[in-house]
Structure formats: C-alpha cells, structure tokens
Amino acid sequence: MSEVLSSENIKKNSSVETVNKKRSQLAEVWRRLKKNNMAMAGLAILGVIILLAIFADVIAPYDSVAIKQNLKDRLQSPSGAHIFGTDEYGRDMFARLVHGARVSLQVGILAVGISIVIGGTLGAIAGYYGGKLDNVVMRIMDVFLAVPSILLAIAIVSALGPNLFNLMLAISISSVPGYARIVRASVISIRDQEFVEAAKAIGADDFRIIFKHIIPNSLAPVIVQGTLGVAGAILSTAGLSFIGLGIQPPAPEWGAMLSGGRQYLRYAPHVTTIPGIAIVITILALNLVGDGLRDALDPRLKS
C-alpha cells in the first residue's frame, strides 16, 4: 500500500514539476520580450488593431456606415463628421478601415494557421522518417517553392473564384512549403535526442512521439515565422484585392480600398493614403513582434 502511495506521489510531483517548468519557460520568454521596447510597441499597436477589429460593429455599424452609399458626401476630406474623410461613394473611411481590419486579420491568421497545420505535419513526418518519404515530400514542396507564392495564389483564386474562403485557401497553400521546411529542419535536429529515444524505449508509437514530443519542441521557429507570415498574408490579401481577385465590393478591405481610390489620388489623396498607412502600420507591428519573439525564444540569447 505504501509503495502504491509513493508511486502516486512521484507521479503527482513529476506532473507538478512539468507544469512549473512550462510556466517558468513562458515567464522567461515574456520577461525577455518585455525588455525589447520595439517588440512591446508593436504588440501594443497590434492589440489596438485587434480590439478595433473585434468591436468593429460597435464602433461603426456595418450596414449603415461602412457600405451605405451617400454620393452627396463623396470624397470629403477628413473632418469632425468623418475623421478620415469619405471615399468615392460617400462612405465613411474610418468605418471601412475598422471593418477592413477584421477581414485582413481574419484572412492572415486563418491562412497562416492552415499553413502551419498542413506544412508542419508534412515537415514533421518527412523529418522523422527520412529516406524515400522525406525525399518525395520535400521534392513536392520544392515544386511549390519554384512558383512565386503570389503567382500561385493568383492562379488558385482565378480558378476557384474570388471570395473570402478561396482567398484564404490560396494564401495558405502558397505558404505551406516554407513551414514544412522549417519544421523538417527542427525535427531532424530533435529526433535523435535522448527524450525521443526514451519514448521509443517505453513503447510509444510514432504518432505519439511526433505529435506529443517532437512537434512541441519544434514550435519556437514556427511561432516566429507564423507571426511574420501573418504580415505576409495580409500583404498578399491586399495585393490580390488590389487587382480584383480578393474580397469583392462593397465589402471593405484595405487592398480594394487602395485600388478604388487610386484614380482620385490627385485631388482626394486620403482615399488611398489612409488604407495604405493602415497596411504599413499593421505589417510593421507584426514584424516588430516577430523580431521580438525570435530574440526571446532563441536559446543562445538566454544569458
């Protein structure tokens, strides 16, 4: 009886130690991230943009402000009534920016999430098993990498049609090879370490070893690349919408707003410059956070 109790106590203590270790690692990463002033500034800006996107319907009702046309107020300069002015159809620019932030963040986050799941799984399997399977998977990834990502996205959207789902699908597919290569490189460096050998020795199957032990220890470079990937996905979304293959009118999207206002650039520059500035600020914030996470998660910088 005492032996059973002692074994249960050992298990409880080991689980508590594991939880405390994970918490201490997260606390250490957060402590080091807080020391990076630029990363914290990017995080603050990103937090504001996310809050605006979440409460977009409260800040500016979609049907009555963001897409309702009012031609008598078209192309008004920024004023008290319209802080960012109005566009070529008299719609409030601030309302369209706020709702456009929701679209851009949604596409960016979901597209990168799909890319990480698919690419990470393929990269982990290829790196763990190696041999012919690794060669086949990575050669397929090389074929996708040989095609410029924006060109591949244009081809997919053109074939499937321009809408929100197809846009996310196109951007995610074009980003899969990059994540597959990153995860594969991490898995190759981890698969022969002692904790993996110990998991094999106690009879753990390959599925458990890959998804329970190897992938969690390969996430640091994926998190960093994913943060930067969201910025790239937002930029790709704006680019595709600019050429008419993204979100379709009258739905607000930053790239489509740029495209619609370019012919009024001379006498109503706010129609183009304001969504352009929004894209620049968002991409800059994401890049600052990504750089900060890279430094915080780099084990060589712990000292």
Task: Read off the CATH number of the domain in which 292 is found.
Answer: 1.10.3720.10
Q: Is residue 235 part of a domain?
A: yes
Query: CA-to-CA distance for 295 and 189, rounded, in angstroms?
Result: 20
**Is there a domain that residue 92 lies in?**
yes
pTM beyond 0.95: no
Instruction: Kindly indicate the confidence band of residue 14, based on its pLDDT and cuts at 50, 70 and 90.
Output: very low
How many structural domains comprise the chain? 1
Domain range for 238: 35-301
The least confident of 66-70, 82-86, 90-94, 95-99 is: 66-70
Whole-angstrom distance, CA of residue 40 vs CA of residue 296 = 12
**Tokens 């270790």, residue located:** 21
> 284: buried, middle or exposed (CB in 10 Å: 19+, 13-18, 0-12)?
middle
Contact indicator for 125, 90 with CB cutoff of 8 Å: no
Q: Is residue 216 part of a domain?
A: yes
pLDDT score at 19: 47
Domain presence at residue 2: no
- Convert the pLDDT of each residue in 115-124 to its tens digit: 999 998 898 8
